[in-house]
Amino acid sequence: MHKKRYFKKNHLFFFITLWLITVDCYSKTIQRCPNTWGLTHFNDGVVPVILEKNKNQLYALVTLESKKKVKKDYRFPICLLPSLIVETSSSSKLTRLLDNLLKQELPKTPWRTIVKTEKLYQGHSSTFWSLSFLSNTIAESLLVPLKDLLQASEDIFSVHPNLIFHRKMMQQYFSSPTHAQTGFSSLTKIWEKTLGENTTLAIIDRGFDFQHPYFDGLNRTLFSPLKNGNESNSSNIRPHGTHMATVIGTQHNNAEFHGLAPKTHLLAIELTGSSISDILKTLNIAKQKKSDVINLSWELLFTSYPVRKAIDDIASNGRNGKGTIIVAAAGNTINEVPGLYRLASQPKVLAVNAVTVDGKIINKTQGDYIDISAPSFFNTFEVSNHGHFASNRVAGSSGATAVISGFATLLLSACPHLTRDAAFSYLLTSIRLAPKEKQQYLGVGVFSDRKFYENLHFCMKQ
């Protein structure tokens, strides 16, 4: 059976020639959002997506059906990079597939002069690659034909445009200080059993700075995907990641801050952008470094198929098949985005909402995707522009997410035999049960360190 040919060689020769004489280098900065590179629609897994322009903004239009069988259109603001996300089998190399696919389509022009490839995420059953055009001119001409050609290949699992999403950090600031362990009266007894030894907790976030002396002695590694996964020293971006690391990893050598799991190996991974390729790179680092827990204290309203697939893979196959615990922020505001696309609503992610130390609801986020809630009023620190150490009181679902991640790390430290499902069960029963009418806000209930201590004691006897 002959497959449809998507390239016309005369046209292709013209475009290649035009590219070679045009100075149009692709910049790593975000392209103008109205540009679709000729793409009008695509499939996000099994869901059809239509691209719409409105003035200078590009939107992904998705029609989904509610639980009441009512169809509704959702528009997500996005940008489109001149590149593709290609999924192959875990044993395949995209370069070899391209050699075979394009040798007839481009007999006189090596494909490496048009596009470059990069492995983004190595999964258990499949691998995601980026296929980036070396010129905007070529992307305008060939992105759609190349996408169609790849999709027609039996060796390619999926082809997806490289979207840039709107990503929100879930954090609020207050001025009055409080200790990190406020409201957790059983922590001292828990720390007698474990401080997070023999675990790795990955925080994927933006802005890390470990210069504060309260981090002295913390076993930490800071990675930046922009440096090809290599370790970097510090970040100059507003330290949202530092605040999350404070809750979890602050050493117990001071009177003011006590991190929940100070003996864990804290893997700080810089999330420098919001594209599919950016997110896949960070998830890949977390997986390759054998993270036991991954903390995502931010919100995605449009979680695309490649990201969903990677999250499912880590949650299912991480920790040598026992499954990695992924904890995500539920958000701080009301949002009607259906469960399929919210990051925190992914089936194998633990979604956390925030409450006060006495269990009162502090934001309007609601939905049946919320699994649990936790106190989120903590004093954190950062390095100011003048080199001074400043403190902030942090509240919101990002801080609550870090709390649950910290306790999850303690659980796996004491009970490393637990599967992800078993660990979820222990965490979701370490609660003060929420009334049914409040479960849309609180999940099954508010986290209780006293109940956690009881569960931890039982788990360690198994």
Higher pLDDT, 151 or 215: 151
Please tell me the predicted confidence (pLDDT) of residue 273. Answer: 86
Banded model confidence at residue 305, pLDDT cuts 50, 70, 90 = very high
Please tell me the predicted confidence (pLDDT) of residue 340. Answer: 74
Q: Do residues 101 and 86 lie in contact, with contact meaning Cβ atoms separated by under 8 Å?
A: no
d(CA 301, CA 165): 8
Higher pLDDT, 320 or 6: 320
Residues 6 or more apart whose Cβ sits within 8 Å of residue 310? 121, 123, 128, 279, 280, 283, 284
Give pLDDT tens digits for 45-57: 888 999 999 888 8
Please tell me the predicted confidence (pLDDT) of residue 233. Answer: 47
Residue 54, φ and ψ in degrees, nearest 5: -140, 105
**To which residue do tokens 């103008």 refer?**
32
What average pLDDT does range 396-425 have in this prediction? 96
d(CA 91, CA 94): 10
Torsion of CA 297, 62, 166, 84, to 10 degrees: 100
Residue 258, φ and ψ in degrees, nearest 5: -130, 110
Q: Do residues 165 and 302 lie in contact, with contact meaning Cβ atoms separated by under 8 Å?
A: yes
Higher pLDDT, 65 or 449: 449
Banded model confidence at residue 68, pLDDT cuts 50, 70, 90 = confident
Coil, strand, or helix at residue 132? strand
DSSP category for residue 143: H
* Burial of 417: CB neighbours in 10 Å, binned 0-12, 13-18, 19+: exposed
DSSP category for residue 423: H
Residues 6 or more apart whose Cβ sits within 8 Å of residue 405? 201, 203, 248, 293, 294, 295, 325, 327
- Maximal C-alpha separation, the chain: 75
Looking at the domain that runs over 167-460, which CATH code has it been given? Answer: 3.40.50.200
Say how far residue 9 (Cα) sits from the centre of its chain: 41
**232 pLDDT more than 70:** no
Strand partners, 390: 382
Please tell me the predicted confidence (pLDDT) of residue 341. Answer: 84
Model-level pTM?
0.87
d(CA 66, CA 264): 42
Domain boundaries, the chain: 9-164, 167-460
CA atoms within 13 A on the CB side of 405: 37
Mean pLDDT of the chain: 83
Q: Do residues 246 and 259 lie in contact, with contact meaning Cβ atoms separated by under 8 Å?
A: yes
**17 pLDDT more than 50:** no
Angle CA 214–219–224, to nearest 5:
100
Q: Which two tokens stand for residue 381?
A: 């620190």
Banded model confidence at residue 29, pLDDT cuts 50, 70, 90 = very low
d(CA 387, CA 400): 28
Determine which helix (DSSP H) or strand (DSSP E) holds 436, and give its type and residue range: none
d(CA 223, CA 205): 11
Q: What is the DSSP string of 7-69?
A: --HHHHHHHHHHHHH---BPPSSPPPTT--TT--EEEETTEEEEEEEETTEEEEEEEEE-TTS
Please tell me the predicted confidence (pLDDT) of residue 404. Answer: 97
